[in-house]
Amino acid sequence: MAGPRGEYRKSAARRAQILDAAVEVFARTGYTGSSVSEIARVVGVSQTAVLHHFEGGKTALLMAVLEQRDALAVGALADHHGRAFIAELVEISRRQAAQRGVVQLYHVLSTEATAPDHPAHEYFRTRIGRILEGTTQAFAEARDAGDLKPGVDPHHAALSTLAMVEGLEMLWLNGLDVDMAEDIRHHIDQFLAAPL
């Protein structure tokens, strides 16, 4: 017998299903080319059911997808500092290789969102700025702990590492034979006093 708590669980499960479908559809056709009706079709519910969970429609779905995914990555990094934070970047890359759809989603959406009138334009600008800030801080902590080679600039090392992560993901998505985690580890090692 489904009491109020059973109803709540069913509703939360349906919301999660809709988010999974949105990830799939956005990754396949981009935000611009996607529709709420296509997402509803993938779940097997009506458009009205989707709009019941996401009143703001397609834009609300986009922001929910991004926030859910980023919460996972922020969680993985929050407890790490200095060299451990830098090492975690390699582990995140290793996990990405098993989640092609998610990597594709981020690249499709973040390139689309470089257009100033895209609903996620500010979101991605702010996001990459924060990631650069956090990574720069981790390299600065590593420097202060004596974990960097002499003369390495934390800001440059962070920018270069993020560019390498983005670029390797792109080459991997485009079908090149790339071991992302291994290549990022190799790239980072040039900055470290002792290799990862």
**114 belongs to the binding site for a second copy (CB under 8 A):** yes
Q: Which is nearer to a second copy, 14 or 127 (CB)?
A: 127
Tokens 């009506």 correspond to: 46
- Of residues 47, 28, 45, the one with CA closest to residue 37: 47
CA 9/CA 17 separation, integer angstroms: 12
Please provide residue 148's backbone torsions phi and psi, each rounded to the nearest 5 degrees.
-105, 155
112 binds a second copy (CB under 8 A): yes
Q: At what angle do helices 180-189 and 82-96 cross, to 10 degrees?
A: 160
Q: Stretches 24-32, 57-65, 73-81, 142-150: which one binds a second copy (CB under 8 A)?
A: 24-32
Q: E strands within the chain?
A: none
Provide the minimum distance between the beta carbon of 34 and a second copy in the complex, in angstroms, as a whole number: 8
- 108 near a second copy, rule: CB under 8 A: yes
d(CA 100, CA 152): 33
CB of 9 to a second copy, least distance (A): 34
Is residue 58 within the footprint of a second copy (CB under 8 A)?
no
Per CB under 8 A, does 183 bind a second copy?
Answer: yes
Q: Which of 12, 16, 145, 163 binds a second copy (CB under 8 A)?
A: 163
Which stretches of the chain bind a second copy, using CB under 8 A? 27-30, 32-33, 104, 107-108, 110-115, 124-125, 128-129, 132, 156, 159-160, 162-168, 170-171, 173-176, 178, 183, 186-187, 190
